[in-house]
Amino acid sequence: MNKSRKKTPGGLLPYPVIVSAVSGNVDAINVVLEHFAGFISALSTRTMYDEQGKPVVYIDEELRRRLETKLIAKIPTFKVA
């Protein structure tokens, strides 16, 4: 699995990792989750306002978990050629 963790041009996931994740390999699924962690965090970022009205940016952990769960559920349905 270590060989397939190498970065590819354009920041894409290596094909062997995708195939392994689709077939249910837990390590490969974790690599996919790690790859998309920044994107999921960005989607989970929320702004709330404190007592003085100043904006406070935070990551909504419940939303982040829900997005991760949806990604995990969709991985096995990904069509690999």
Distance CA 31, CA 8 (A): 14
Q: What is the pLDDT of residue 81?
A: 81
The conformational region for residue 48 under phi > 0 = left, psi -120 to 50 = alpha, else beta, is beta
From first to last of the 81 residues of the chain, give the pLDDT tens digit: 454 455 566 789 999 999 999 999 999 999 999 999 999 999 999 999 999 999 999 999 999 999 999 999 999 999 998
Contacts with 44 (C-beta within 8 Å, 6 or more apart), sequence order = 59, 60, 61, 63, 64, 67
The whole-number pLDDT of residue 9 equals: 64
Model pLDDT, residue 5 = 55
> pTM for this structure?
0.82
* Interatomic CA distance for residues 69 and 36, integer angstroms: 12
Question: What was the pLDDT predicted at 11?
Answer: 87
